[in-house]
Amino acid sequence: MSKERKIIILENGPYLVEGNIPLAEKINVLEGRRLHKFIDGRLLPQAETYRLCRCGHTTTPPFCDGSHVAINFDGTETASTASYRERAKALEGPNLTMLDDNRCALSKFCHRKKGTAWSLTLSSNYEDCREEAIHAASDCPTGRLVALDEAGNEIENSYEPSIDIMQEPLVGVSGGIFVKGGIPLFSESGKIYQVRNRYVLCRCGKSYNKPFCDAIHISAGYLDQKPVKEKKGLFRKKK
Ligand code: FES
Protein backbone atom coordinates (compact mmCIF):
# COMPACT_ATOMS: atom_id res chain seq x y z
CA MET A 1 0.00 0.00 0.00
CA SER A 2 1.22 3.48 -0.86
CA LYS A 3 2.32 5.82 1.90
CA GLU A 4 0.43 9.05 2.53
CA ARG A 5 1.37 11.70 -0.03
CA LYS A 6 3.73 14.27 1.39
CA ILE A 7 7.01 16.13 0.99
CA ILE A 8 9.42 16.24 3.92
CA ILE A 9 12.32 18.69 3.98
CA LEU A 10 15.44 16.98 5.28
CA GLU A 11 17.84 19.10 7.31
CA ASN A 12 20.38 20.70 4.92
CA GLY A 13 19.45 17.96 2.46
CA PRO A 14 16.88 17.02 -0.19
CA TYR A 15 13.10 16.93 -0.36
CA LEU A 16 11.90 13.46 0.54
CA VAL A 17 8.79 12.75 -1.54
CA GLU A 18 6.48 9.96 -0.39
CA GLY A 19 3.23 8.47 -1.67
CA ASN A 20 3.88 7.56 -5.29
CA ILE A 21 3.51 11.14 -6.52
CA PRO A 22 3.79 11.43 -10.33
CA LEU A 23 6.89 13.34 -11.44
CA ALA A 24 7.27 15.10 -14.79
CA GLU A 25 9.37 17.75 -16.49
CA LYS A 26 7.56 20.78 -17.89
CA ILE A 27 8.97 23.45 -20.14
CA ASN A 28 7.70 27.02 -19.98
CA VAL A 29 7.25 28.29 -23.55
CA LEU A 30 5.50 31.18 -25.25
CA GLU A 31 2.33 30.68 -27.22
CA GLY A 32 2.12 33.86 -29.22
CA ARG A 33 3.90 36.96 -27.97
CA ARG A 34 2.83 37.15 -24.35
CA LEU A 35 1.05 33.96 -23.38
CA HIS A 36 3.00 31.37 -21.44
CA LYS A 37 2.20 27.68 -21.28
CA PHE A 38 3.87 24.47 -20.17
CA ILE A 39 4.72 21.72 -22.61
CA ASP A 40 5.97 18.24 -21.72
CA GLY A 41 9.68 17.75 -21.24
CA ARG A 42 11.68 14.58 -20.66
CA LEU A 43 10.11 11.52 -19.13
CA LEU A 44 11.33 11.06 -15.58
CA PRO A 45 11.43 7.86 -13.54
CA GLN A 46 8.46 7.24 -11.23
CA ALA A 47 8.78 5.83 -7.72
CA GLU A 48 6.86 5.36 -4.47
CA THR A 49 9.53 7.39 -2.66
CA TYR A 50 12.22 9.63 -4.08
CA ARG A 51 14.55 12.43 -3.07
CA LEU A 52 14.66 15.67 -5.06
CA CYS A 53 17.79 17.81 -4.96
CA ARG A 54 17.48 21.00 -2.92
CA CYS A 55 21.06 22.27 -3.06
CA GLY A 56 21.42 22.69 -6.83
CA HIS A 57 24.63 20.66 -7.06
CA THR A 58 23.42 17.16 -7.86
CA THR A 59 24.91 15.38 -10.86
CA THR A 60 21.70 13.35 -11.26
CA PRO A 61 19.01 16.05 -11.56
CA PRO A 62 16.33 16.30 -10.39
CA PHE A 63 17.30 13.63 -7.88
CA CYS A 64 19.62 13.99 -4.90
CA ASP A 65 23.05 12.35 -5.22
CA GLY A 66 24.34 13.38 -1.81
CA SER A 67 26.22 16.45 -3.09
CA HIS A 68 24.67 18.58 -0.33
CA VAL A 69 27.09 16.95 2.11
CA ALA A 70 30.20 17.74 0.04
CA ILE A 71 29.20 21.40 -0.45
CA ASN A 72 28.08 21.80 3.17
CA PHE A 73 24.67 23.03 2.01
CA ASP A 74 22.85 25.41 4.35
CA GLY A 75 19.18 24.70 3.72
CA THR A 76 17.83 26.73 6.60
CA GLU A 77 14.17 27.50 6.04
CA THR A 78 13.53 31.23 6.04
CA ALA A 79 9.98 31.45 4.66
CA SER A 80 7.09 32.58 6.82
CA THR A 81 4.80 29.83 8.03
CA ALA A 82 1.86 32.26 8.22
CA SER A 83 -1.10 31.34 6.03
CA TYR A 84 -1.52 32.75 2.54
CA ARG A 85 -4.47 34.90 3.61
CA GLU A 86 -2.41 36.36 6.44
CA ARG A 87 0.42 37.29 4.08
CA ALA A 88 -1.46 38.36 0.97
CA LYS A 89 -2.68 41.85 0.06
CA ALA A 90 -5.91 42.35 -1.85
CA LEU A 91 -6.29 44.26 -5.09
CA GLU A 92 -9.89 45.31 -5.55
CA GLY A 93 -11.13 45.62 -9.12
CA PRO A 94 -14.65 46.62 -10.13
CA ASN A 95 -15.78 42.98 -10.53
CA LEU A 96 -12.93 40.92 -9.12
CA THR A 97 -10.67 40.78 -6.10
CA MET A 98 -7.20 39.34 -6.48
CA LEU A 99 -4.87 38.41 -3.64
CA ASP A 100 -1.08 38.71 -3.98
CA ASP A 101 1.55 37.48 -1.51
CA ASN A 102 4.50 38.55 -3.68
CA ARG A 103 6.01 35.02 -3.70
CA CYS A 104 7.24 34.99 -7.30
CA ALA A 105 9.20 32.55 -9.50
CA LEU A 106 9.16 34.91 -12.51
CA SER A 107 7.47 32.33 -14.72
CA LYS A 108 5.30 35.12 -16.16
CA PHE A 109 2.02 33.21 -16.28
CA CYS A 110 0.48 36.42 -14.89
CA HIS A 111 1.10 38.03 -18.29
CA ARG A 112 -1.74 37.54 -20.76
CA LYS A 113 -2.35 38.83 -24.24
CA LYS A 114 -4.63 41.60 -22.96
CA GLY A 115 -2.48 42.66 -20.01
CA THR A 116 -1.14 41.57 -16.65
CA ALA A 117 -3.11 40.02 -13.79
CA TRP A 118 -3.11 43.41 -12.04
CA SER A 119 -4.22 45.57 -14.98
CA LEU A 120 -6.85 42.99 -15.93
CA THR A 121 -8.23 42.93 -12.38
CA LEU A 122 -8.55 46.72 -12.48
CA SER A 123 -10.47 46.37 -15.77
CA SER A 124 -12.68 43.54 -14.50
CA ASN A 125 -15.85 45.48 -15.28
CA TYR A 126 -15.27 44.07 -18.78
CA GLU A 127 -16.15 40.38 -18.73
CA ASP A 128 -13.30 39.34 -21.08
CA CYS A 129 -10.77 41.14 -18.85
CA ARG A 130 -12.24 39.50 -15.75
CA GLU A 131 -11.89 36.04 -17.34
CA GLU A 132 -8.32 36.77 -18.38
CA ALA A 133 -7.49 38.04 -14.87
CA ILE A 134 -8.74 34.77 -13.39
CA HIS A 135 -6.52 32.78 -15.78
CA ALA A 136 -3.55 35.06 -15.05
CA ALA A 137 -3.96 34.49 -11.32
CA SER A 138 -4.82 30.79 -11.24
CA ASP A 139 -2.19 29.67 -13.80
CA CYS A 140 0.62 31.14 -11.67
CA PRO A 141 2.63 28.10 -10.43
CA THR A 142 3.72 29.69 -7.15
CA GLY A 143 0.20 30.40 -5.95
CA ARG A 144 1.28 34.04 -5.52
CA LEU A 145 -1.93 35.29 -7.12
CA VAL A 146 -5.41 34.07 -6.22
CA ALA A 147 -8.64 35.44 -7.68
CA LEU A 148 -11.70 35.43 -5.44
CA ASP A 149 -15.26 34.86 -6.53
CA GLU A 150 -18.16 37.04 -5.37
CA ALA A 151 -18.48 35.01 -2.16
CA GLY A 152 -14.76 35.38 -1.38
CA ASN A 153 -13.90 31.80 -2.35
CA GLU A 154 -10.60 31.12 -4.06
CA ILE A 155 -10.84 30.29 -7.77
CA GLU A 156 -8.38 27.47 -8.40
CA ASN A 157 -7.50 25.16 -11.27
CA SER A 158 -8.17 21.52 -10.47
CA TYR A 159 -4.91 19.56 -10.21
CA GLU A 160 -4.21 15.92 -9.49
CA PRO A 161 -1.45 15.62 -6.87
CA SER A 162 1.74 15.71 -8.92
CA ILE A 163 5.15 17.35 -9.16
CA ASP A 164 6.67 19.13 -12.17
CA ILE A 165 10.33 19.95 -12.61
CA MET A 166 10.31 23.34 -14.33
CA GLN A 167 12.57 24.42 -17.18
CA GLU A 168 12.72 28.06 -18.24
CA PRO A 169 14.42 28.13 -21.67
CA LEU A 170 13.06 31.62 -22.43
CA VAL A 171 15.50 32.99 -19.87
CA GLY A 172 18.12 30.26 -20.35
CA VAL A 173 17.82 28.58 -16.95
CA SER A 174 16.18 25.74 -15.07
CA GLY A 175 13.35 26.58 -12.68
CA GLY A 176 11.96 25.29 -9.43
CA ILE A 177 9.71 22.40 -8.44
CA PHE A 178 6.02 23.00 -9.16
CA VAL A 179 3.95 21.11 -6.59
CA LYS A 180 0.28 20.69 -7.47
CA GLY A 181 -2.88 19.34 -5.94
CA GLY A 182 -2.57 20.04 -2.22
CA ILE A 183 0.48 17.95 -1.31
CA PRO A 184 1.40 18.62 2.34
CA LEU A 185 4.88 20.06 2.93
CA PHE A 186 6.64 19.38 6.22
CA SER A 187 9.54 21.49 7.43
CA GLU A 188 12.70 19.87 8.74
CA SER A 189 11.39 20.52 12.26
CA GLY A 190 8.19 18.60 11.50
CA LYS A 191 5.93 21.66 11.20
CA ILE A 192 3.51 21.66 8.31
CA TYR A 193 3.22 24.61 5.94
CA GLN A 194 -0.26 25.60 4.89
CA VAL A 195 -1.57 22.99 2.44
CA ARG A 196 -2.06 24.71 -0.90
CA ASN A 197 -3.18 23.72 -4.39
CA ARG A 198 0.05 25.05 -5.93
CA TYR A 199 3.46 26.17 -4.83
CA VAL A 200 7.02 26.19 -6.16
CA LEU A 201 9.96 24.85 -4.19
CA CYS A 202 13.54 26.02 -4.69
CA ARG A 203 15.96 23.49 -6.14
CA CYS A 204 18.86 25.79 -7.06
CA GLY A 205 19.74 26.08 -3.38
CA LYS A 206 19.99 29.86 -3.45
CA SER A 207 16.54 31.16 -2.57
CA TYR A 208 16.34 33.74 0.21
CA ASN A 209 12.88 32.38 1.01
CA LYS A 210 13.62 28.68 1.46
CA PRO A 211 12.04 26.26 0.89
CA PHE A 212 10.13 28.30 -1.70
CA CYS A 213 11.49 29.60 -4.99
CA ASP A 214 12.09 33.34 -5.12
CA ALA A 215 13.33 33.42 -8.76
CA ILE A 216 16.97 33.87 -7.85
CA HIS A 217 17.70 30.84 -10.06
CA ILE A 218 17.52 33.32 -12.96
CA SER A 219 20.22 35.72 -11.78
CA ALA A 220 22.21 32.72 -10.52
CA GLY A 221 22.08 31.14 -14.01
CA TYR A 222 20.99 27.81 -12.54
CA LEU A 223 21.00 24.99 -15.11
CA ASP A 224 20.37 21.40 -14.14
CA GLN A 225 21.39 19.84 -17.44
CA LYS A 226 24.77 20.18 -19.07
CA PRO A 227 25.20 20.65 -21.94
CA VAL A 228 21.48 21.12 -22.39
CA LYS A 229 21.78 23.76 -25.11
CA GLU A 230 23.59 21.41 -27.42
CA LYS A 231 21.63 18.33 -26.43
CA LYS A 232 18.06 19.60 -26.53
CA GLY A 233 18.22 23.00 -28.21
CA LEU A 234 15.95 24.28 -25.44
CA PHE A 235 18.03 27.11 -24.14
CA ARG A 236 19.07 30.38 -25.69
CA LYS A 237 22.76 31.01 -25.82
CA LYS A 238 23.91 33.53 -23.22
CA LYS A 239 25.16 36.81 -24.69
S1 FES B 1 14.81 27.29 -7.95
FE2 FES B 1 13.92 29.28 -7.94
S3 FES B 1 15.07 30.30 -6.37
FE4 FES B 1 15.98 28.30 -6.40
Q: What is the pLDDT of residues 101-134, one digit of tens each?
A: 999 999 999 999 899 999 999 999 999 999 999 9
State the distance from the centre of ligand 1 to the C-alpha of 130, rounded, in angstroms: 30
For the CA of 174, the closest atom of ligand 1 is: 1
Task: For residue 54, report the distance from its CA to the centre of ligand 1, in Å.
Answer: 9
176 lines ligand 1 (CB under 6 A): yes
Residue 150 is predicted with a pLDDT of 87
Ligand 1 and 217: CB distance under 6 A:
yes
Strands across the sheet with 49-52, in order? 49-52, 15-18, 6-9, 185-186
pLDDT of residue 231: 44
- Report which ligand 1 atom has the smallest distance to the Cα of 206: 4
pLDDT score, position 232: 52
**Residue range 5-38, pLDDT digits in tens:** 999 999 999 999 999 999 999 999 998 777 899 9
- Residues 158 and 116: their CA atoms lie apart, in Å, by 22
Cβ of 204 closer than 6 Å to ligand 1, yes or no, is: yes
Give the chain's end-to-end CA distance (angstroms, integer): 51
3-state SS class at 219: helix
Q: Say yes or no: CB of residue 216 within 6 Å of ligand 1.
A: yes
pLDDT of residue 225: 80
Q: How many angstroms does the Cα of residue 122 sit away from the middle of ligand 1?
A: 30
Query: Ligand 1 mean position to 46 CA, how many Å?
Result: 23
Q: Which of 73, 168, 204, 209 to mutate to test the pocket of ligand 1 (most atoms within 8 A of CB)?
A: 204
Does the Cβ of 207 fall within 6 Å of ligand 1? yes
pTM: 0.93
For the four alpha carbons of 158, 153, 136 and 134, in that order, the dihedral sign comes to positive
Q: By the 8 A CB rule, do 91 and 118 touch? A: yes
CA of 104 to the centre of ligand 1 (A): 10
pLDDT block averages, 10 residues each, the chain of length 239: 93 98 96 88 95 97 97 97 97 97 96 95 96 96 96 96 97 97 97 97 98 98 71 51
Establish whether residue 202 lines the binding site of ligand 1, counting it when its CB lies within 6 angstroms of any ligand atom. yes
Distance 149 CA to ligand 1 centre (A): 31
Sequence-distant (≥ 6) Cβ neighbours of residue 113 within 8 angstroms: 32, 33, 34, 35, 132
